[in-house]
A and B are shown apart, each in its own frame.
Chain A
Amino acid sequence: MIQAEQEARESSLISRKTFKRSGHLIFVGTVLSDDIEDQLARFYKETDSKEPLLFDFEQAEFIDIPALVNCIATLVQRKENNLETFLGYPKAKKARDFLDVWRFAEAVNRATKTPFELFLLPEDYHYLAEQQEAYRGVGDGIDALEYNPDWNENPNTKRNFFEFTTFSSGKHDVMQTEPLFAAPRNESKRWTGALIRQVLMKHLGSEKPKDDIARVIIYEAISNAVRHPKARIIQVVSHFARKAIRDDEVNTKRTSMEAEKKKIEGSLRICVWDDGDSIPSTLLNVLKAGKNVRAFRFPLYMYDAIHVRVRNFEGAKLREIVVNQSEDLTAASTEARVLLSSLYPGISRTVDDQVPAVEPYENAAPEEPNLYLDWMPGMGLYSLTKTVLDQYQGSLFIRSGNYRLLMEMAHDAYRVQFNVHYKCTITAYPEVFPGFRGNLITIKLPIKGIT
Chain B
Amino acid sequence: MNYVSLDIRIGVSGVRQISTKRVKFHDQVAGLLLKEGAVITRVGSQLTSPIDHKKYVHHSAYIKQVLADTLTVASDSDGPLNLCIIDFTSNAFVSVRDPLLFALADGIKESCENGLCVFFAVLLSELPGPNSSSFQQFERMKELLQPEFAVFFIPDSGDYHDFSSKRQEMPKFPEEYRNLIKIMYGDPSSKLERKCIRRLGHFQSYDPQNGTSRCRIYSYYMIDCENELSFLFSDWWREHGNGYKSILFDLKNNVSFRNVVKAFGSERDILTERIVDVLQSVDLRKAVMQIGKAVLVLDAFETGSTLNHYIKNLRAVGIEVSNEVVVCINKSGAKISRCGDNHIYGFVSRSGESELTPCLQCNLKLPFLPESHESFLRIRAFDMFHMISFSSWEPEPLEESPENKDLRYDTLPVFSKILEDFGDWIGFKIFNLLHSNPLPDDFFVIHPDEADSTALSNKLLSLFDRKLYIVKIPKNAIKEAQLAGNSWNRVVSKYQKSEWVERLSSVGDAGAIILDIFKGSGSTLISLTRLLQHFDKAPFCYVCLVDFDPGQEHLDGSAIPKHPLYNWYNPRVLLPMWR
Interface residues of A (CB under 8 A from B): 136-138, 140-141, 144, 148-157, 172, 174, 179, 181-182, 185, 188-189, 191-195, 197-199, 201-202, 208-212, 214-216, 219-220, 223, 227, 248, 251-252, 254-255, 260, 302, 345, 350, 355-356, 358, 361-365, 371-372, 374-377, 379-380, 382-383, 386-387, 390-391
- List of 9 A-B pairs having minimum Cβ-Cβ separation, nearest first: A251-B283, A379-B99, A254-B287, A141-B266, A372-B65, A391-B131, A198-B263, A150-B252, A376-B61
Cβ of B259 and Cβ of A194 under 8 Å apart? yes
- A361: B residues at CB distance < 8 A: 49, 65-66, 69-70
CB-nearest residue of chain B to A214: B94
- A215: B residues at CB distance < 8 A: 93-98, 128
CB-nearest residue of chain B to A150: B252
Pick the residue among B95, B132, B372 that contacts A154 (CB under 8 A): B372
User: A150-B372, A189-B94 known; A377 and B262 CB under 8 Å?
Assistant: no
Stretch of B267-275, B300-308, B331-339, B471-479 on the interface side: B267-275
Residue B578 at the A interface, CB < 8 A? Answer: no
- B283: A residues at CB distance < 8 A: 248, 251-252, 254
Query: Cα distance A426–B176 when bound, in Å?
Result: 52
- A350: B residues at CB distance < 8 A: 58
Tell me how far the C-beta of B146 lies from the nearest C-beta in chain A, rounded to whole angstroms: 15
- A362: B residues at CB distance < 8 A: 15, 45, 47, 69
Cβ of A254 and Cβ of B60 under 8 Å apart? no
Query: Cα distance A30–B395 when bound, in Å?
Result: 72
CB-nearest residue of chain A to B438: A179
Give the interface size class of chain B: 35 or more
Query: Cα distance A376–B372 when bound, in Å?
Result: 44
- A383: B residues at CB distance < 8 A: 97-99, 102, 132-134
Cβ of B65 and Cβ of A391 under 8 Å apart? no
User: A179-B438, A209-B127, A364-B69 known; A255 and B286 CB under 8 Å?
Assistant: yes
Q: Mark B38-59, 1 if CB is under 8 A from A, else 0.
A: 0000000101010000110111
Cβ of B226 and Cβ of A193 under 8 Å apart? yes
Cβ of A219 and Cβ of B97 under 8 Å apart? yes
5 new A-B contacts at CB < 8 Å, known A141-B266, A210-B126, A379-B102: A156-B255, A209-B127, A361-B49, A362-B69, A365-B72
CB-nearest residue of chain A to B137: A302
Residue B242 at the A interface, CB < 8 A? Answer: no
- B436: A residues at CB distance < 8 A: 174
Query: Cα distance A195–B69 when bound, in Å?
Result: 41
Query: Cα distance A202–B264 when bound, in Å?
Result: 12
- B277: A residues at CB distance < 8 A: 136-138, 149
Cβ of B226 and Cβ of A382 under 8 Å apart? no
Query: Cα distance A4–B275 when bound, in Å?
Result: 47
Query: Cα distance A185–B15 when bound, in Å?
Result: 22
Cβ of B260 and Cβ of A220 under 8 Å apart? no
Is chain A's interface secondary structure helix, strand, loop, or mixed overall?
loop
CB-nearest residue of chain B to A184: B57
Cβ of B263 and Cβ of A195 under 8 Å apart? yes
User: A379-B102, A391-B130, A391-B132 known; A195 and B259 CB under 8 Å?
Assistant: yes
Which of B269, B271, B291 has the largest number of chain A CB atoms within 10 A? B269
Offer 28 A-B interface pairs, CB within 8 angstroms, sorted by A.
Answer: A136-B277, A150-B372, A153-B375, A155-B373, A182-B439, A189-B92, A197-B263, A199-B263, A209-B129, A211-B126, A215-B93, A215-B96, A220-B97, A251-B284, A251-B287, A254-B290, A358-B59, A362-B15, A362-B69, A365-B69, A372-B61, A376-B60, A376-B61, A376-B102, A379-B60, A379-B102, A380-B99, A383-B102
- A382: B residues at CB distance < 8 A: 99, 133
- A255: B residues at CB distance < 8 A: 286-287, 290
CB-nearest residue of chain B to A390: B131
Cβ of A154 and Cβ of B64 under 8 Å apart? no
Pick the residue among B128, B227, B284, B439 that contacts A212 (CB under 8 A): B128
Q: Mark B362-405, 1 if CB is under 8 A from A, else 0.
A: 00000000101101000000000000000000000000000000
Cβ of A198 and Cβ of B372 under 8 Å apart? no
Tell me how far the C-beta of B42 lies from the nearest C-beta in chain A, rounded to whole angstroms: 16
- B132: A residues at CB distance < 8 A: 212, 216, 383, 386-387, 391
Residue B68 at the A interface, CB < 8 A? Answer: yes
Query: Cα distance A193–B117 when bound, in Å?
Result: 38
Residue B251 at the A interface, CB < 8 A? Answer: yes
Residue B296 at the A interface, CB < 8 A? Answer: no
Tell me how far the C-beta of A270 lies from the nearest C-beta in chain B, rounded to whole angstroms: 15
Tell me how far the C-beta of A315 lies from the nearest C-beta in chain B, rounded to whole angstroms: 32
Cβ of B255 and Cβ of A154 under 8 Å apart? yes
CB-nearest residue of chain A to B266: A141
Query: Cα distance A44–B15 when bound, in Å?
Result: 58
Residue B573 at the A interface, CB < 8 A? Answer: no
- A202: B residues at CB distance < 8 A: 266-267
Residue B202 at the A interface, CB < 8 A? Answer: no
- A154: B residues at CB distance < 8 A: 255, 370, 372-373
Query: Cα distance A405–B373 when bound, in Å?
Result: 43
Query: Cα distance A310–B101 when bound, in Å?
Result: 34
- A197: B residues at CB distance < 8 A: 263
Residue B73 at the A interface, CB < 8 A? Answer: yes
- B210: A residues at CB distance < 8 A: none
Cβ of B60 and Cβ of A194 under 8 Å apart? no
- A188: B residues at CB distance < 8 A: 94-95
Query: Cα distance A185–B258 when bound, in Å?
Result: 24
Tell me how far the C-beta of B487 lies from the nearest C-beta in chain A, rounded to whole angstroms: 29
Cβ of A358 and Cβ of B62 under 8 Å apart? yes
Cβ of A198 and Cβ of B266 under 8 Å apart? yes
Tell me how far the C-beta of A218 lies from the nearest C-beta in chain B, rounded to whole angstroms: 8
Cβ of A372 and Cβ of B68 under 8 Å apart? yes
Tell me how far the C-beta of B93 lies from the nearest C-beta in chain A, rounded to whole angstroms: 5
Query: Cα distance A407–B204 when bound, in Å?
Result: 55
Cβ of B284 and Cβ of A374 under 8 Å apart? no
- A364: B residues at CB distance < 8 A: 65, 69
CB-nearest residue of chain B to A257: B269
Which of B58, B96, B130 has the largest number of chain A CB atoms within 10 A? B58
CB-nearest residue of chain A to B98: A383
Residue B354 at the A interface, CB < 8 A? Answer: no
Which residues of B (226-280) have their CB < 8 Å from a CB of A? 226-227, 230, 251-252, 255-256, 258-260, 262-264, 266-267, 269, 271, 273-274, 277
Tell me how far the C-beta of A105 lies from the nearest C-beta in chain B, rounded to whole angstroms: 23
Which of B54, B226, B256, B262 has the largest number of chain A CB atoms within 10 A? B262
Tell me how far the C-beta of A183 lies from the nearest C-beta in chain B, rounded to whole angstroms: 11
Tell me how far the C-beta of A139 lies from the nearest C-beta in chain B, rounded to whole angstroms: 8
Tell me how far the C-beta of B15 lies from the nearest C-beta in chain A, rounded to whole angstroms: 6
Query: Cα distance A138–B265 when bound, in Å?
Result: 12
User: A141-B262, A193-B259 known; A386 and B92 CB under 8 Å?
Assistant: no
Tell me how far the C-beta of B172 lies from the nearest C-beta in chain A, rounded to whole angstroms: 24
